[in-house]
Amino acid sequence: MSTTRPGTPLAVLAARRRRAATETRERTAISDADLRRPVVRFWMRLTEVLVGIGLVVAGAGPILWLAKAATSTTQDSLRDPFGLWPSGFQLQNLPDAWNRLQIGTAMVNTVWVALGSWVITLFVCVTGAYVLSILRPRWGRLLSALVLSALFIPGVVSLVPLYLTVLDLPLLGASLQNTYWAVWLPAAANAFNVVIIKRFFDALPGELFEAARIDGAGPWRMLGSIVLPLSRPILGVVSLLTVVAAWKEFLWPLLVLTDPALQPVSVALPRLANTSEVSLLMAGLFIAVLIPVVLFLVFQKQFLRGVGMSSGIKG
């Protein structure tokens, strides 16, 4: 085994690396020397435990309490909100809420809203980002600037014009009220999704597209054979964000879906709040919350990987 003699260029380089690594470790709030002290280590561990408990309570606490209230009687939820089932575990509340509050119908409506929003959002945002990032027409910079400017417009500002447009479509003169198109189309016009997908497309190797053009591939062939297979992480992120946003949306479906038979669960449950038992209402809310949570837990690796890739790529 060869050794590096002191004073050689390799030895100097190795010493510099060790010194840089030591300086990097020292650039923290607490140095390595302080961490070797028992008192400092004790308070550090205690702080980590307290912060971890606080994060768990803030994140999982409301969901756990909702699960407890969904399986408790109305009297227990009103008299002792934090008591652990004084009258016993009422699992029957979940099927009762499903049948008596017609949660099943509202859930089917919610699935239609989320599914349509997901499909149309991916089509509009992927094609828009593909045009701006890969095809790059002459007016691409102007359109990119307009898309970015849309991010600075508060949603409440465009609420009234959008509602009037849905009631009376320009040129067509038709009304989309009480149709799912009134929810799907505004959800697809999401500038944020276009921007993050465009940034991801910008980081794709340009040599792939040059080779595809030389082989005679057209724009749609490049989109289907190159762009989409390489963009699964960011498409997963956009899909999850779109489905969760459509699942929890309240104000817009309340305005455009006035027919109770078409309303999603986010609108149907508040409408039933004044006429339903607290236990059944909590059970319905728990059912409505459970599905987005399960979706995130199942796809959390893809979501976090896609977020990391979309935030780390070059603009």
| CA–CA dist 41, 97 (Å, integer) | 51
pLDDT at 48 over 80: yes
| CA–CA dist 315, 148 (Å, integer) | 13
1: in domain: no
| CA–CA dist 229, 273 (Å, integer) | 45
pLDDT at 313 over 50: no
**Given pLDDT bands bounded at 50, 70 and 90, which one contains residue 212?**
confident
> How many Cα neighbours within 13 Å face the side chain of 263?
19
pLDDT at 315 over 50: no
Percent of the chain at pLDDT > 70 equals: 84
Nearest-10 crossing angle of helices 278-298, 103-130: 30
- 140-168, pLDDT tens digit by residue? 888 888 888 888 888 788 888 889 888 88
72: in domain: no
Instruction: Tell me what the pLDDT averaged over the chain comes to.
Output: 81
- 248-286, pLDDT tens digit by residue? 888 899 999 988 889 898 888 888 877 878 888 888 888
184: in domain: yes
Q: Considering only CA atoms, which of 291, 294, 295, 271 is closest in space to residue 281?
A: 271
**Mean pLDDT, rounded, for 24-52:** 74
Residue 312, pLDDT score: 46
Residue 306, pLDDT score: 56
| CA–CA dist 176, 183 (Å, integer) | 9
- 216-258, pLDDT tens digit by residue? 888 888 888 888 888 888 888 888 888 888 888 888 999 999 8
50: in domain: no
pLDDT at 51 over 60: yes
**Mean pLDDT, rounded, for 67-73:** 87
70: in domain: no
pLDDT at 302 over 80: no
30: in domain: no
Contact 190, 125 (CB under 8 A): yes
282: in domain: yes
Name the residue type at position 51: V
CATH number of the structural domain spanning residue 105: 1.10.3720.10
45: in domain: no
Q: Who has greater pLDDT, 120 or 275?
A: 120
Give how many domains the chain has, as a whole number: 1
Domain, as residue range, for 113: 99-312
**Given pLDDT bands bounded at 50, 70 and 90, which one contains residue 101?**
confident
Q: What is the pTM of this model?
A: 0.74
Residue 314, pLDDT score: 41
